[in-house]
Amino acid sequence: MHINKYGQSIKIFSALVVISIVLSACGSAGTPISTIAPGPTSTPSEIPVLTFTPTKTTPPSTNTSLPTFTNIPPTSTPPVKMDRNIIYASPLQAGVFERKLDVYMPHEAGAWPVLVFMHGGIGTKDNMIDISQELAEQGLVVFTINWPPSGLSAAYQENGRKIRETYEVLSCAVSFASSTAAEYGGDPSQVIVVGFSWGADYGSWFALSGENLESEWDQFSVSRGGPPPQIDCEKKGFSGAADAFIGIGGTYTYAKNLREKDEEIWNLFSPMAQIGKNPNLSVRFLHGEKDDFGPVQPARFNDLLVEAGYDSKLILFDGGHEVPIDHIVELISELFGD
């Protein structure tokens, strides 16, 4: 049991008082004294109190100086320049949202090839930050966009209003990239649409359609009573057509059951229906050999394009459902030169 020194001292003091009383009651020979001495004349408040003040000894310090810390900001330059959350498309109708993009560019000046990069069906442009930076480090100006994927069910709703919105959003993105490429060090004559997963499916549809689909939507809207234009582009009067398309991990078959139910919308929505509308488009399909979405459908789509006279190739790489940076850079170098 631990007893502090205050308690121990009080016990010693009490013992001394008892011994003193006993000795007072006995003579020098140890015989009792017959008379009792009078009690103290002081009041209780005047009784002296024995107090103890503990002291603490601190060992001398061998180092009298305190450490100092200096916050030195990093001096290294970020690998690429970024300009984020730029509005490139604004709504014209209720239920439509504005769309934003990010731009990634090398520090060095130059006429770099331009990419319009489309995320997959369940992602956003923020999921593609690292990939976009890596592509820009390789000498590309990358416009990574937020765009509105819509399932096949959208084709049956309001005469495909969401589909028209998606087409117009993508057209605005390419127009924005073409019009601002030089400001970011890019070459507006080399605009490549790159789509991953569902972005590959819809990107192929958009890139193959060229600039004719907007007028087709207008004609369709007149005959079917809508939908009207959904989106207003921030940059107008610039080409909305891509010079090349690279699809990664797509299947390109999302509209295969639409033709029997509504051939008019199929003509506006299926990538197969766009073949021949933008004949100068160069097409490259990248597909991982370990991708759960096997290469059978991309291979069939590629064969159709080759038969139609397109410069189209299918490249398989050792990987899964992913974005192969090095392969993209190699393909762009092949398409547009070093």
Tokens of 194: 């790159």
pLDDT of residue 311: 97
pLDDT of residue 16: 35
**Least confident among 77-81, 191-195, 328-332:** 77-81
Residue 22 belongs to domain spanning: 5-38
pLDDT of residue 336: 86
Classify residue 55: in a domain, yes or no.
no
33 and 95 share a domain? no
pLDDT of residue 78: 75
CA atoms of 301 and 123, how far apart (whole Å): 25
CA atoms of 122 and 137, how far apart (whole Å): 26
Classify residue 60: in a domain, yes or no.
no
Instruction: Calculate mean pLDDT across residues 24-51.
Output: 39
Residue 45 predicted with pLDDT over 60: no
Residue 106 predicted with pLDDT over 80: yes
Classify residue 75: in a domain, yes or no.
no
Neighbouring residues of 21: CB distance < 8 A, sequence distance ≥ 6: none
Determine what percent of the chain is predicted with pLDDT higher than 70: 77
20 and 101 share a domain? no
Q: CATH no. for residue 251?
A: 3.40.50.1820
135 and 279 share a domain? yes
**Least confident among 62-66, 151-155, 220-224, 268-272:** 62-66
254 and 200 share a domain? yes
pLDDT of residue 171: 95
Q: Categorize the per-residue pLDDT at 72 as very low, low, confident or very high, splitting at 50, 70 and 90.
A: low
Instruction: Calculate mean pLDDT across residues 287-304.
Output: 97
**Least confident among 25-29, 133-137, 240-244:** 25-29
Instruction: Calculate mean pLDDT across residues 169-183.
Output: 96
pLDDT of residue 14: 41
CA atoms of 186 and 167, how far apart (whole Å): 24
Q: Categorize the per-residue pLDDT at 122 as very low, low, confident or very high, splitting at 50, 70 and 90.
A: confident
Q: Which residues pair with 26 in a beta bridge?
A: 32
73-84 pLDDT, tens digit each:
555 667 899 999
7-16, 74-83, 261-270: which has the highest mean pLDDT?
Answer: 261-270
12 and 139 share a domain? no
Classify residue 74: in a domain, yes or no.
no
286 and 176 share a domain? yes
Instruction: Calculate mean pLDDT across residues 306-320.
Output: 98
13 and 152 share a domain? no
Give 3-state DSSP helix, strand, coil % of the chain, rounded to 5: 35, 20, 45
The rounded mean pLDDT for the chain is: 83
9 and 118 share a domain? no
215 and 307 share a domain? yes
CA atoms of 121 and 201, how far apart (whole Å): 10
Domains of the chain: total: 2
pLDDT of residue 109: 87
Instruction: Calculate mean pLDDT across residues 204-210.
Output: 96
Could you tell me which of 169, 174, 210, 179 has the C-alpha nearest to residue 192? 174
Higher model confidence: residue 66 or residue 287? 287
24 and 125 share a domain? no
Q: What residue has token string 């970011």?
A: 184
Instruction: Give the CA distances from residue 94 to residues 32, 161, 162, 226, 252, in Å, rounded to whole numbers and listed in that order.
Output: 114, 11, 12, 14, 30
pTM for this entry: 0.77
pLDDT of residue 76: 63
Classify residue 192: in a domain, yes or no.
yes
252 and 158 share a domain? yes
Residue 271 predicted with pLDDT over 70: yes
Instruction: Calculate mean pLDDT across residues 229-256.
Output: 92
Residue 98, class by beta-carbon neighbours within 10 Å (0-12 exposed, 13-18 middle, 19+ buried)? middle
Q: Categorize the per-residue pLDDT at 118 as very low, low, confident or very high, splitting at 50, 70 and 90.
A: very high
9 and 95 share a domain? no
